[in-house]
Amino acid sequence: MSATTWTMAKALNQGLAKALADDDRVLLMGEDVGALGGVFRVTEGLSARFGTGRVLDTPLAESGIVGAAIGLAMRGYRPICEIQFDGFIYPAFDQITSQLAKITARHEGSARFPVVIRVPYGGHIGAVEHHQESPEAYFAHTAGLRVISPSTPNDAYWMIQQAVASDDPVMFFEPKSRYWPKGEVELESPAAGMHTTRVARGGTDATVLGHGAMVSVLLQAAEVAAKEGTSLEVLDLRSLSPIDYGPILRSVEKTGRLVVAQEAPGFASLGSEIAATVAERAFYALQAPVLRVSGFDAPFPPAKLESVYLPDADRVLDAVDRALDY
């Protein structure tokens, strides 16, 4: 069987299982990842298969989870940490940004710290406070961390394995609203490395770029635009640090317009960085300013208001129309 159809949650589960099976040094640890299988059931069955010595339920202490993982990495293990929800990551912020991100540099590269931190993130699930945030820019800003986010089951299956194989610490952001839609998974070999931008849909009139759950919104916008005679090229960022600018610049050189979309607030964000870099490196190809569509610069609202806060296809298409009007 060279391909199958899985949800992203299933694809992550199988990718984690393969990583555990292929290397005895790989450990999985986090709150409720064992017998319960995680709140999203991503780790379901792994404790029974690999034992509680390799799939560890931890106390409710995110700084302790990451701190223990750093110690395990020092002893030659390859730990995978789960942060149960995006808004719970802040107690571990010091361990991640002050210790894990810098410790390889302190050793001048003589020691590696292959820690993967899985973070379910983003909105669209109608959850309560601290359960729908998008904190990825904090970590993309931090030198020493690799930051990636899949948008499809196929990418989830392969990118989690690539993250575990990396000798550098990896922040692995999982768009929780995409856990359940199904997609084809190629089981033979990955389509690309984990730090490549993917062309999700070809187009000629304008480029729209996003990551994680936003990619499905951009594809919806492209379908609507096509019915109105506008051809949008949809790019899936996949890697938030480092960013693979080659496909982005080639697309902008072709279309002359770029709209960057994200769930996170717009100020000092990934969208800001991409807009500035494209303006620097593709200035003469641009026929309009790079436009950004984002969550608002406010705390994530109560669940009943999330549809107002989160960018949708209409907001993306409004930005496309403005770009085309220049």
Written as six digits, the tokens of 258 are 């770029």
What is the rounded CA–CA span in Å between residue 188 and residue 2?
Answer: 6
- The domain 3-186: what is its CATH number? 3.40.50.970
Catalytic residue among 124, 131, 195, 211: 131
Written as six digits, the tokens of 270 are 């990934």
Residue range(s) in the chain whose domain bears CATH number 3.40.50.920 = 198-325
**What confidence category does residue 130 fall into, taking pLDDT thresholds of 50, 70 and 90?**
confident
**What confidence category does residue 1 fall into, taking pLDDT thresholds of 50, 70 and 90?**
low
What does the pLDDT read at residue 125?
86
**What confidence category does residue 129 fall into, taking pLDDT thresholds of 50, 70 and 90?**
confident
* Helical segments of 146-287, H only: 153-165, 214-227, 245-255, 270-281
pLDDT, tens digit (0-9, with 9 covering 90-100), for 87-106:
999 999 999 999 999 999 98
Q: Is the pTM of this model over 0.85?
A: yes
pLDDT, tens digit (0-9, with 9 covering 90-100), for 158-190:
999 999 999 999 999 999 999 999 999 999 988
When the candidates are 3.40.50.920, 3.90.1150.10, 3.60.10.10, 2.60.40.10, the CATH number that belongs to 198-325 is 3.40.50.920
Instruction: Name the helix (H) or strand (E) containing 260.
Output: strand 258-265
pLDDT, tens digit (0-9, with 9 covering 90-100), for 210-251:
999 999 999 999 999 999 999 999 999 999 999 999 999 999
What is the rounded CA–CA span in Å between residue 72 and residue 117?
Answer: 14
Sheet holding 55-57, edge to edge: 55-57, 26-30, 78-82, 116-121, 170-175, 146-148, 239-241
Q: Quick check: 27 pLDDT over 90?
A: yes
What is the rounded CA–CA span in Å between residue 42 and residue 21?
Answer: 16
Residue range(s) in the chain whose domain bears CATH number 3.40.50.970 = 3-186
Contacting residues for 209 by C-beta, under 8 A, at least 6 apart: 218, 234, 235, 237, 248, 258, 259, 260, 261, 274
Average pLDDT taken over every residue of the chain: 96
* Distances, alpha carbon 80 to alpha carbons 20, 172, 291, in Å: 10, 10, 36
Specify whether 141 is catalytic. no
8-state DSSP, 97: I
Q: Quick check: 138 pLDDT over 90?
A: yes
Residue type, position 309, single letter = Y
pLDDT, tens digit (0-9, with 9 covering 90-100), for 40-97:
999 999 999 999 999 999 999 999 999 999 999 999 999 999 999 999 999 999 999 9
Q: Residue 54, class by beta-carbon neighbours within 10 Å (0-12 exposed, 13-18 middle, 19+ buried)?
A: middle
